[in-house]
Amino acid sequence: MGKLVCVICGMEINDKNYNFNKEAFISSNSKEDIRYCPFCGAPEQYLQIDGKEFDYDKSKLDDNALKIVDHAVKLEIFNGDFYKKASTIAKDEKVKKIFEALSRIEYMHARIHKKIGGFKEDPVLRDMDYSKYDSDDILLEMACKREKHAVEYYEKYSKEIEDKTIVEVFAALSGVEEEHIELTGKGEKV
């Protein structure tokens, strides 16, 4: 059998990594049934046997599209940084694990946008202090807000982008963030 590849992030999914970041997903992958990419969260229709990552070509993008993608890099890194810090502040072990996994996934989204826009450098963002969020409930609430903002961003700005591939990537990643809203929005059940 050929290799299972996520065409959005380009990662190969195999027996060893199918369960990576499982804390960030509501229903988990099993060896026999891989439903999403463990690295970027893209759903099953983007996982293809011997698939090839989308051919991201920044030369096809106009200035406005590049600006939108550049901002998407920043948004995802901002959220990745938040989750990384939140995972150290959170008290509950399970919540910590969820934040760690979410952090890795948001950084992967940033990496995808960097490839789309052909950006080489990571943007330098202001160092944020989240220590005032001193309970797991508040952290989850802040997380949920960020995820909602991300979904709004993708929905709003995909309308301004003409490149079909980018529109598809935005839709896929927006769907991933929607699951994160659900995941972080049920704080009391965690």
Query: Binding of Zn ion at residue 116 (CB under 5 A)?
Result: no
CA distances from 64 to 17, 158, 161, 162 (A): 37, 11, 8, 10
Query: Binding of Zn ion at residue 42 (CB under 5 A)?
Result: yes
Whole-angstrom distance, CA of residue 21 vs CA of residue 40: 9
> How far, rounded to the nearest angstrom, does the alpha carbon of residue 126 sit from its chain's CA centroid?
20
Nearer to Zn ion (CB atom), residue 8 or residue 89? 8
Nearer to Zn ion (CB atom), residue 52 or residue 126? 52
Min separation Cβ 12 and Zn ion, Å: 10
Determine which residue in the list 37, 69, 139, 151 makes contact with Zn ion, applying CB under 5 A.
Answer: 37
Query: Binding of Zn ion at residue 39 (CB under 5 A)?
Result: yes
Q: What are phi and psi of 62, to 5 degrees?
A: -85, 175
Residue 30 structure tokens? 């099993």
Q: Which stretch binds Zn ion (CB under 5 A): 42-50, 58-66, 76-84, 129-137?
A: 42-50
Nearer to Zn ion (CB atom), residue 92 or residue 168? 168
Residue 176 structure tokens? 């991933």
Q: Which stretch binds Zn ion (CB under 5 A): 5-13, 21-29, 130-138, 179-187?
A: 5-13
End-to-end CA distance of the chain: 38
The answer to whether residues 25 and 127 touch, using CB atoms and an 8 Å cutoff, is no
Determine which residue in the list 5, 40, 65, 116 makes contact with Zn ion, applying CB under 5 A.
Answer: 40
Residue 48 structure tokens? 């293809």
Whole-angstrom distance, CA of residue 124 vs CA of residue 78: 10
Would you call 49 helix, strand, or coil by DSSP? strand
Q: Which residue has tokens 């709004």?
A: 152
Query: Binding of Zn ion at residue 173 (CB under 5 A)?
Result: no
Determine which residue in the list 6, 68, 72, 143 makes contact with Zn ion, applying CB under 5 A.
Answer: 6
Query: Binding of Zn ion at residue 9 (CB under 5 A)?
Result: yes
Nearer to Zn ion (CB atom), residue 10 or residue 117? 10
By CB under 5 A, name the binding residues for Zn ion.
6, 8-9, 37, 39-40, 42
